[in-house]
Amino acid sequence: MSRLLAIAIALLALAAIALLVVRPARVIEANAASLASSIGDETDARTARCEEVQSGRANGSAWRCEVVEPAGSGQATRTYAIHVDEWGCWDASVSAPANRTRPSACIWLLDYVEFLD
């Protein structure tokens, strides 16, 4: 019986670690730095800066991110309106200047680790 309990505890610990790696926002709230890292990676931006505009919503939070795109892209800065759900997955729409690009992704553990950028 104690061996079975030890296996069950080990499996639960492994599942918790996997959840932290794959969807850390369930454990660690999304923040400006992690979202900026995620959208920057998704859009190949040189830099990104985000600020929360509405929190405490039952289905996630609202953010605004300014993304400086790489040279030669034809657009220096884009502003995205972003909705982040409780799992750390986000959908963005360009609020300025307008176009049809709608990036989306999920924040993962390395987005919280800034020294790797």
pLDDT digits over 12-70, tens only?
999 888 877 777 777 788 889 999 999 999 988 888 999 999 876 667 889 999 998 77
pLDDT at site 49: 95
Q: Does this model's pTM top 0.85? A: no
**Structurally, how many domains does the chain consist of?**
1
pLDDT at site 115: 47
Residues 6+ apart with CB under 8 A from 74: none
User: Is residue 103 pLDDT above 70, yes or no?
Assistant: yes
